Structure 1
Amino acid sequence: MDMIRTLIGPDNGDANAAQLCVRALILFAIGIAYIRIAGRRTFALATPLDIVVALVVGSNLSRAMTGKAPFWPALAATLLLVVLHRVLAMLALRWDWLAKLVKAEPVVLVRDGKEDRRAMFRHGIGDDDLLEALRLEQVERPDEVRLGTLENSGNISVVRRKADAA
């Protein structure tokens, strides 16, 4: 154990450059393992739960890196959070009430060309935000949209109206 302590340095922030490099290598490998445990969606389609876990994991790993937190206890706490996230995600697949608690629900912003101003206001989506999302989907105006939804990930998905048969 003394050899490991010599390699990673003290937990008081006084680690030298070589010790920080060893910490970086260990944290890189552990970070990859933690992401694999948490699952891809943790850092891809971000729900509020995913964002919180990502922030805390990054913060914990940063503190472990710089010696602002004890190295092994910080890694253990981070692993606990990652496993808890994974368990909650798996349980949310089984129980809808839990899914609603830990994830956001999709919100309809546009239906049949009509914007839902109350929903937009409630979720902080301005006209410019909506128009940007429409343009990203090659749609110019809300009246061309059958369904525009603010998804759990924070993205706005768009289903075009069918072209009128002439």
Structure 2
Amino acid sequence: MENITNIWMGSQDLPFYSFIVRAILVYIYIFLMVKVIGQRSMANIDPLDFIFGVIIGDVVGETVSSGEEELTGPFAGAAMIAFLHWLLSYAGLKWPRFRRVIEDEPFIIIEKGRILDHMLKRTNITIEQLLMELRQHDTSDLNEIDYAVLEPNGNISVIKRSPFNAATAYDIGLTPQNRGYPKVVISDGKVVPENMEKIMTRAELEKGIIDHGYNAVEEIFLLTVNEADEWYVTPRLRV
């Protein structure tokens, strides 16, 4: 019991395993906090989320490496920061005018094919950075671009002129079947029963495996099936 108390309250003579336990506690605490606040895309993090991550890391990060600091204070501080973060996010959703206070608005930097140099200066984007972003969107030819917009998360969205957009099935008069969301039926040689049962029986799965040139589930690394009954199969590599 004394060891548990020392892990939470901190001590100058914490054993090695206590730091591991404290790290696990901090990780679980932050994980639960993020789940309560709500999931956001971490690939394109916005400034509000970035500030939240930096402050939370600073508040509770020290408790992982320092064995003398009590966990109660940092956890309480992190909880308050999380509450403020949630409150600002909620206010931004509730009141659009307030949203402009905490989030940047999108900026049009190319309009009807014309680069707006004053908007580049306003957003601190050099022409080289703009061209790099356009190349990453496979639009190195400026004649193809109708609009380019700097989004609040810092990415640049590109809208091409109509003649340069890829033709869709609707454009050429086709009505293909919706493929829907592919379900993972086999992962690393093991069946995912909750997904399989939604679309096929075990007998149908085994027959399909044979039809695709395999003898057993264990030979397959990944098998997905979409709503059009299209299979993607890749084998397990034996090293």
The normalised TM-score by structure 1 is: 0.86
Structure 2: runs of 5 or more not aligned: 165-239
- CA distance in structure 2 between the aligned counterparts of 1:141 and 1:4, rounded to whole angstroms: 64
Inter-CA distance 135–9: structure 2 relative to 1 (3 Å threshold): same
Larger relative strand fraction: 2
8 Å contact from structure 1 (residues 9, 16) kept in 2: no
Q: Which has the higher contact order (CA 8 A, sep 6+)?
A: 1
SS in 2 for 1:105: coil
Equivalent residue letter for 1:88: L
Aligned to 1:66: 65
Equivalence for 1:95? 95
Residue identity (%): 23
Q: Deviation at 1:83?
A: 1.9
Q: Which has the larger radius of gyration?
A: 2
Supply the AA of the counterpart residue of 1:4: I
Q: Once superposed, what is the RMSD of the aligned Cα atoms?
A: 2.2
1:122 aligns with 2:161: no
| Total equivalences in the alignment | 163
Q: After TM superposition, give the deviation of residue 69 of structure 1 in Å.
A: 5.0
Which has the higher mean CA deviation after the structures are superposed, 100-109 or 70-79?
A: 70-79
Residue pair 1:46, 1:152 contacting (<8 A) in 2 also: no
- Give the equivalent residue in structure 2 for 1:20: 19
The offset of 1:11, in angstroms, is 6.2
- Cα distance, 1:161 vs structure 2: 1.1
Q: Secondary structure at the match of 1:80?
A: helix
Deviation, structure 1 residue 2: 4.6
* Superposition deviation, residue 8 in structure 1: 4.1
> What stretches of structure 1 of length at least 5 have no aligned partner?
none
**Would you say the 8 A contact 1:150–1:156 is kept in 2?**
yes
Residue in structure 1 matched with residue 50 of structure 2 by the alignment: 51
